[in-house]
Structure 1
Amino acid sequence: MAQQLTLIILWIVIYSYMIAASIDFGTGFYLFYGQQIRHWDHLYAPLQSWLSPLSEVMNICFVLLFAAVLSLSPEIILNFQTPLVFCGILAIVLTVAKGTFYALAELLTNGKKTKSIFLAGNGVIGVFIPAVLSIVLVISEGGFSDDGTGNIHLFILHMFSNFYFWCVMVIAVVSIFYISAMYLVHFASVSVNPALTAHFRNVALFWSMPTVLASGMVFLGLEQQNPEHFMRTLDASWLFMLSLVCLLGAVTLVFLKRYKSFFILVMMQYFFALIGYTLSHFPYLIYPDIVMDQHLADWAQSGWFLIIVLVAAPPSLAAFLAIRLRTVLRSETLRKTDDK
């Protein structure tokens, strides 16, 4: 029972972090782009209230959790220490750098050139952190066994010449911009900011098509990298079709300017995509070398795992985002009152 509970909690944490972190990373980048590149200070000013030290703490905790989970499997560490150490160190460095840039940008007053540099660092680095963490997905598809304990330069060369690697990088970056733009439509709508809502409505609609194309690229890359896993995804194709239906539903509601609860469809879009990937990947942790406990794999693929995470994951994430949004709106109201 302990293994099942651990698997459920771990999956919910990964799913929730994927959505919540994408919102934070995308917001940081849009804030930098809007204020420093387009000089739309007044339009993008409300985004500043969403960013908080909570985001940086969340990033650090997830990276540490990521490292702790990997350390529980000596077999993984033994056979794949080179790529995993590379990913771990790079993720930690980027997370610390982003947090530092954010803190320094908050300490400086507006108008200073150094503040612009720190805002740029915070926004740009945030886009790369999910991409670095996504390298683990590439490694899990196999083909990197020879690089597991080899030279780091050979691993990097192998990775950069891998088509599936670039597919995963594209979907990771595109998802950041898409998820955050969709949420910022919701954020602006709830904040009753028509100008910001209209602006991010256009941004969200723009990123919807690249999201579909990037998803298709991932399947093409997976077919080349790991044909066995690709065939397993066909068995779970109904989950990916549900993901596509949710995407189309969310985009349609945004296009029609019906903003109430549309972000739930975005959450479900990525829920179905991630659970489809997870179930089709079991029982392998890393193809074909590392296999999870057969009893645990059988339980997860019996349908109970899907039912439990469906009931627990989206509501938990929705509650977290709702509480945070309420806190942000309350602090923004107090700030405007103090300014008056």
Structure 2
Amino acid sequence: MNKISPNLITDFIVSLKQLSGSLNWTTEFIIGFPSLIILIIAVSIVIYNFFKVKYRFAFYLMLLFLSKPLWVSFSILATLFLSKLLFRMLMYSIIVLTFFTMLCVDSVSRESVDQVKMSIFLVLSAVVVFTSLDPSSVVIITSPYGELSIWMSGYFLIATFLLQLFCNVMWIYYMARIHWNTPKNLKFYSSLIFLGALVLGSILFILIIGLNQIIPGLHMLIFAVGELLIAIGFTSQPKLSYILPFKVLRLTVIETNSGLSLYNHTWSKMDDLVDEQLFSGMLQGISGILQESLKRGNVREINLDQAVLILQRSEQFPVVCVLVTTKSSRSLRDALNSFAEKFFKEFSQFFSEPHKLDNFSPASDLVSDCFAFIPRYD
């Protein structure tokens, strides 16, 4: 049996001591570790939320949060080793963060990525990469306490700050819009998210005035706290990600032969909502006229000036489900289709007696299941 040479062990210990002595143990490194732990907690919360709700926004938010530990990790390691390469990787990670931030904000406001945002992102990212190639773009500096640190200079500094500014403005603007449009019963959670966005936005100001040199690692700690607030807000109320794309007003199930409304659910107590029986009769009349004039099947959507009616008709029964919303979207169409399939299956035995509305009251459970992402506006 081969034995480990005592000289080999001694050489290894000496190497560790030499390596430890050559590392840059600073306050920034020490503060970076608790910041990373807080950030990992926030990431875990967001991952849990995605596998719980599986919304499109939750997926993009998970990707965004998974990329955030890169920023803190590269910051810690770049300081520890005083590595200009690792510091450049730190700045490149901001490109990844900005990209996923753009996907997140567009997923809460539109169906596809905004080409204007994408163009700005590509230009700024290219400038960041190009300016980083200058050998003098990254420099070693000394803090007021005599600790060595690493920082940017010249056009690389300007380009990176512009990219961070673009990312911060995007996030703060859309989180502010969500908070402004959130119903009162969800305001507390939207306040957490908006506060987290403001906390993140303050990091750029801290870096510009050099406060991170006076209090090393402050930017990482603030970054982690801001992300934790955002993670708690969106995980506690995933509905907040659907505040901006549309406002759902009403769901109605209509028996088309009689024109009776079998089931009605509203998410808004607006005074100008039309009476449900009048609404069902009006809808049946419009659908009949369009079907007779076009001879191309049933109506799927009706676009009004301030609303959209999404329809899902049964192929077996004279029943149609109608969703009234301010804007159509794939998520709403999928949810309505899921609700309609379950409603037709569970309540088809009562369709022959449409006047007995109590038979359809349990459909509220289907609404809670299929439209769980829609907030209620009281």
TM-score, with structure 2 as normaliser: 0.33
Highest relative contact order (Cα 8 Å, sep 6+), 1 or 2? 1
- Whose strand fraction is larger, Structure 1's or Structure 2's? 2
Larger radius of gyration: 2
Higher helix share: 1
TM-score, normalising length: structure 1: 0.36
